[in-house]
Structure 1
């Protein structure tokens, strides 16, 4: 025999020998068939062995439930059947057949637990809970069937038991199966983290250290073992609809942390974060939150914040997505390191913190490095959340205002008090001596001057006496008709354009006059409306006069404006404030007519809601005013401003909880 023939014969002999030895797949297939045969045999044998005992046991339990409910004419004296007397006392024997018992369902669950889930210690508890549930549900089915025969008719018993009961039987068997699987498939060795970084399960020893994503090389003993039969995987691949399976997978992925991120370098981590966020904030939410919580590299955090900000169009999928967006907003709005103002060490109290003027003053003081104590009567005032310290006061016209204010100032001991509500001057003036004793400096206008500005009748009288241009004004019904039209009717003591009525027809004037409380009537001016932010020194010098056009207003507050320079406006504003005897901050409102004539409408002896435009134009009236408060003898210099600067206002938000804890960027 040649060498080639011998080798061929040897190869054929080896191949024939290998065919006689079953492969691993064949062995597993044979093992599965044997286990299935044993399961079927166990179910059949158990049913034949225990069915009579199970029927008597369930009849006994059902009898006890019927007796506890106080229902008569139902007896279990026959042992394995019920004797039911219907509405007409017609007797019927309801036999407890094998199909009515839970034994078949329990044996099926036991077979599944023994064959498929036997390697998991939790299967015993899962099987016990599922059995108790199936027993309880079947008792409900039996009781309802018997009650149907007792109160309705024998046909109702048969219908409920055979049809509705069959549906209930299928439902509780399926639910019992899911209960057992759910309790059994829990694995205490999953290595996962929630979004706060806490480990949600015991970590395997193969993990080198806690944190995001570092693994050591696996030894031979730690090599992955042959995969086991996974019921969950089988359900997802073969049983559940694809859409439902994908939905459950997405929900599971949202709460799972991707451990492949932490051990990479910073550039790679940033690329991974951008890729994960690009798939949707609701897809890898837990991983992105973990990065935002534990990451220390500024570049990675910048990449995450930019990626989150780029997906603002994405619908909100959960509360964690909201938290991620709030974090990104706070990160992007953070102050650059080292660019903030140097702290002055002063604490300045500001009243009226909830109004536009109060908010503007608080922000100006903070930009200058001052710490602020915000005060307001409204506990929901936005300015209370902007300042380092805040307190709520009663209104100035309510009892307890003075005591509350003094108690708060005694607690915090601010260096100065800035009032942005003109109506508080009357209550603050008697407290100046006690404030000085506390070391709290103030600069309040003369009470008579403040009252003249707040009372539009007194204001019109003062300007008329000083020869300052002012619209014709009447405050009695008898003289209202003497004022040239068209008219504007408004309260003599009001603010914020409240209760202002414009009248064009003479016949409508009396009705408007008597409708507006405490009304005055003025000629409605033509021309372009302006407001001038002014600061008058204690000696009467005009330190600042910044006129701005009121291009657009909402609720009496300027939302669009433009600064401008005008000697005529400055002269009339100066004459107006001199006529009323005011010192300190003020905003003067008026009109520039078609021919350039300037007419003054009113003066508010406080900072205005449009103050941010004046400050942006370069006239730091807040800083100069605080300097004048702290040093009354200081020679304050005049302030310049930039004409032609425009302002467009927009809304900004503060987020806080019911416990007054700031959230997100407001923190």
Structure 2
């Protein structure tokens, strides 16, 4: 099966893992991005520059590429494009193209931190308490510091600040767009990658300890068979309105084993490669689902460690095929062979 990675950006590891999965059966991995300097695109078998997901020509551009290369599975990777793909998913499906993303309601819950906090609270899932913004802005002296201030529509830990007093709280509230304030979760930080089938059931959950992060993405981690996180993954899948495919959530686990969920991502997480290498091949699970095979529940290896390093790709832009003016599906920049 041929697979397309959308908004590939820097997701080079994901491109490689998809290729390892599809290549033995004659499949290829393709990539698209609105930016011609995407590093991950250059690791794909072929790639194209397409209009941004907000552009009226986005859908036609993606469909054109899929038809030309017999692509049957699209893997969206960027938070901002998920609502677009969820809305267009029925149109893709009519054309025989499967989009690996959750439904609009689940994506909205994951995209907005206020909605995430509300959902977790109503579902009875453990999470840090949200602090009323009016109370925070009044400088209430009884607030339970330390607190976390972050953009409600942010991602990748961008703009997250831990504040320890009223002065810091006021400072960051004034400088944060659409802020949310929560109590600070304590303990060891984990991400749990989970795969949810069409019946909205969690088939596998792989927690990993986030030993070190850089720019919001894990750089050192280790898989941990943590019962409370695996249980939380199942409860999360049951409670979300329309989850599907690869999701992940972040949580802090205290010294007494109590977990608190701080974030949900309705997509492949940046730390997915460790789950894949541990034995939970979500890509193969998606392909099995698209091709009508039973999706099995894989076992995975506990205690597998991962560390990352910087890598690079090199090319001569002047040697790439020149792209015509962007029209629906006609951008044809390709990687150098």
Both structures adopt the same fold (TM-score exceeding 0.5): yes
Aligned residues: 315
SS at match of 1:655: coil
Give the drift of 1:523: 1.1
TM-score, normalising length: structure 2: 0.87
Could you tell me how far 1:572 is from its partner in structure 2? 1.7
**Cα offsets for 1:465-513 (capped at 9, x unmatched):** 1111100113623356475220110010111111112211122212211
Structure 2 residue 21 is the aligned partner of structure 1 residue 361: no
Give distance in 2, aligned partners of 1:563 and 1:392: 36
User: In structure 1, what is the equivalent of residue 299 of structure 2?
Assistant: 640
Q: Does 1:351 align with 2:9?
A: no
Looking at structure 2, the residues matched to 553 and 660 of structure 1 have their Cα atoms a distance apart, in angstroms, of: 36
Q: Aligned runs of 1:615-654 on 2, under 5 Å?
A: 615-631=276-292, 634-654=293-313
User: After the TM superposition, which segments of 4 or more aligned residues of structure 1 sit over 4 Å from their partners?
Assistant: 479-483
Change (3 A) 1:586 1:433: closer
**Partner Cα separation in structure 2 for residue 661 and residue 609 of structure 1:** 29
More helix by share: 1
Q: Contact 1:379 / 1:392 at 8 angstroms: preserved in 2?
A: yes
Q: Is this contact kept in 1: 2:203–2:297, CA < 8 A?
A: yes
| Deviation by residue 1:20-58 (Cα, 9 ceiling, x = unmatched) | xxxxxxxxxxxxxxxxxxxxxxxxxxxxxxxxxxxxxxx
Alignment of 1:247-266 (within 5 A): none
Give 1:106-145 correspondences, 5 Å limit. none
SS in 1 for 2:270: coil
User: Compared with structure 1, are the counterparts of its residues 477 and 510 closer, same or farther at alpha carbon in structure 2 (3 Å cutoff)?
Assistant: farther
Is the CA contact 1:351–1:375 (under 8 Å) kept in the aligned structure 2? yes
The answer on whether the counterparts of 1:559 and 1:649 sit within 8 Å (CA) in structure 2 is yes
Q: Using the alignment, how far apart are the partners of 1:479 and 1:575 within structure 2?
A: 31
Partners of 1:629 and 1:506 in 2: CA distance: 52
1:462 and 2:119 are equivalent in the alignment = yes
SS of residue matched to 1:659: helix
- Please tell me whether residue 395 in structure 1 is matched to residue 52 in structure 2: yes
- Secondary structure at the aligned position of 1:360 is classed as helix
TM-score of the two chains, using structure 1 as the length reference? 0.45
2:231 equivalent to 1:571: yes
Ranked by relative contact order (alpha carbons within 8 Å, sequence separation 6 or more), the top structure is 2
Matched-pair contact (CA < 8 Å) for 1:491–1:516? yes
Aligned-pair distance for 1:464?
0.6
Residue 609 (structure 1) shift: 1.0
Q: Tell whether 2:318 aligns with 1:659.
A: yes
Structure 2 CA distance, aligned partners of 1:430 and 1:580?
Answer: 17
Question: How far, CA to CA, are the matches of 2:37 and 2:177 in structure 1?
Answer: 28
Once the two structures are superposed, the pairs formed by residues 196-215 of structure 1 within 5 Å of their partners are: none
Question: Are 1:411 and 2:72 matched, yes or no?
Answer: no
Corresponding residue for 2:95? 438
User: What CA distance in whole angstroms lies between the structure 2 residues aligned with 1:616 and 1:407?
Assistant: 33
**Is the 1:544–1:621 contact (alpha carbons within 8 Å) kept by the matching residues of 2?**
no
1:492 and 2:152 correspond: yes
More strand by share: 2
Per-residue deviation at 1:391?
0.9
Q: Which residue number corresponds to residue 332 of structure 2?
A: none
Q: After superposition, give the CA deviation of every residue in 1:305-356 in whole Å (9 maximum; x if it has no partner).
A: xxxxxxxxxxxxxxxxxxxxxxxxxxxxxxxxxxxxxxxxx32111121133
- Residues 452 and 458 of structure 1 are in contact (CA less than 8 Å); yes or no, is this contact kept in structure 2? yes
- Secondary structure of the structure 2 residue equivalent to 1:415: strand
Residue 80 of structure 2: which of 423, 426, 431 is its match?
Answer: 423
Q: Which aligned pairs between 1:68-467 and structure 2 lie closer than 5 A?
A: 346-356=1-11, 359-368=12-21, 369=23, 370-467=27-124
Q: CA deviation at 1:618?
A: 1.2
Q: Who is 2:221 aligned against?
A: 561
1:463–1:470 Cα contact (<8 Å) kept: yes
Q: Superposition RMSD on alpha carbons, in Å?
A: 2.0
Name the CA distance, whole Å, in 1 between partners of 2:169 and 2:200. Answer: 40
* Structure 1 match to 2:176: 516
